[in-house]
Amino acid sequence: MPYVEGKPFGEGPFNALQAALSMAEGYGFSITNYDNYVGTADLNHQERQLDILAHMDVVPAGEGWTVTKPFEPVVKEGKLYGRGTADDKGPAVAALYAMRAVKELGIPLTKNVRLILGTDEECGSSDIRYYYEKEKEAPMTFSPDAEFPVTNTEKGRLEGHFHASFAASEALPRLVKIEAGIKANVVPGKAKAEVEGIELKTLEETAAQVGKATGISFTFEQRPSVTEITAQGAGAHASTPNEGKNALTGLLCLITQLPLAECPQLSLVKSLVKLFPHGDTCGKAIGIDMADELSGSLTLAFSMLAVGAHSLEGVFDSRCPVCATEDNVLKVVREAMAGEGFTLENDSMLPPTM
């Protein structure tokens, strides 16, 4: 989203914030707009005791909408459909209505509650950093942006970025390229590759076997010199990778089963299958499978990969329980990847919060 003067996160978040603030103002709350990064609504003018953090921006609309289009909300059978109804506009409105109920019932209060509406939660929360550069946080804060009733622990995160370069090879049959993934925190539902010098029949036979084993389906499109392979799985949020079917890891299974000529590129792709095998959503193969009672199991989603003639780069998203440290996660991953010829670019990870 290009930066536009006065609309730091583009048109959509800007419009959503304007709409939310005018709603809040309509209910008689005093509002403040922090340069369209964040807007706030105050319950009263007392000393601030509680901040409620919600956000007006949404994740990309994606494909596969059946009940309505992502930005044409409808109510059907008592449910509201549309992008952001659950994350996080619905909860923001619920919080606003809770404040409205307290206000309209005339319940006497000695402290203030402030609803803080952000517009960049999904892309790094620079909105909230901007806000807290100007304002102090209240003694208590909660965010209606997770499961009910309450989450008081958050897993750590390693968004791993890695790369490798290698000598190009023209030997046939060969892998021309791989392109997969849209965001680090999304399990790819679709992944594409191009191969050269392989019969369609061989591709289809191998795809049938791999499809059976992985649950990923494959289609082929023949171009003048190459065949494009599309792997179709099911997308999911990277924090719950077992709810999806990772098209990227499925695609890598297929590619490494094809009778391709040996070359440095192919052996690195085989290493990726070793480190991130299809169906391994807990980092077992790479050596960081761990769990604790408080925050559950580590999860890992191999979410993005671009492979070309002489280099590759990839991203994975790991959510780490409270027992995770840089020693037992970051260091282990770095060494495992280095052992297979990859450079992990991260020098730190986001620690768990509790």
Answer for the pair 329, 320: CB distance below 8 angstroms, yes or no: yes
Nearer to Zn ion, 56 or 248 (CB): 56
Residue 237: which region, alpha, beta or left (left: phi > 0; alpha: psi -120 to 50)? Answer: beta
Nearer to Zn ion, 152 or 225 (CB): 152
**Which residue's Cβ has the minimum distance to Zn ion?**
88
Q: What are phi and psi of 247, to 5 degrees?
A: -70, -30
From 57, 87, 88, 317, active-site residue: 57
Minimum gap (Å) between residue 88 Cβ and Zn ion: 4
Residue 323: which region, alpha, beta or left (left: phi > 0; alpha: psi -120 to 50)? Answer: alpha
Minimum gap (Å) between residue 121 Cβ and Zn ion: 5
Nearer to Zn ion, 145 or 159 (CB): 145
Minimum gap (Å) between residue 16 Cβ and Zn ion: 13
Nearer to Zn ion, 145 or 280 (CB): 145
Minimum gap (Å) between residue 145 Cβ and Zn ion: 4
- What are the C-alpha distances in Å from 11 to residues 16, 18, 132? 9, 11, 23
From 51, 87, 120, 121, active-site residue: 121
> For residues 307 and 342, what is the distance between their CA atoms, to the nearest angstrom?
13
User: Rule CB under 5 A: which residues touch Zn ion?
Assistant: 87-88, 145
Minimum gap (Å) between residue 268 Cβ and Zn ion: 36
Answer for the pair 65, 22: CB distance below 8 angstroms, yes or no: no
Whether 87 sits among the annotated catalytic residues: the reply is no
Look at residues 117, 144, 138 and name the one whose alpha carbon lies nearest to residue 39: 117
Contacts of residue 297, defined as CB under 8 A and 6 or more positions apart, other chains included, come to 282, 289, 290, 291, 321
Nearer to Zn ion, 240 or 267 (CB): 240
Answer for the pair 198, 207: CB distance below 8 angstroms, yes or no: no
Whether 57 sits among the annotated catalytic residues: the reply is yes
Catalytic residues: 57, 121
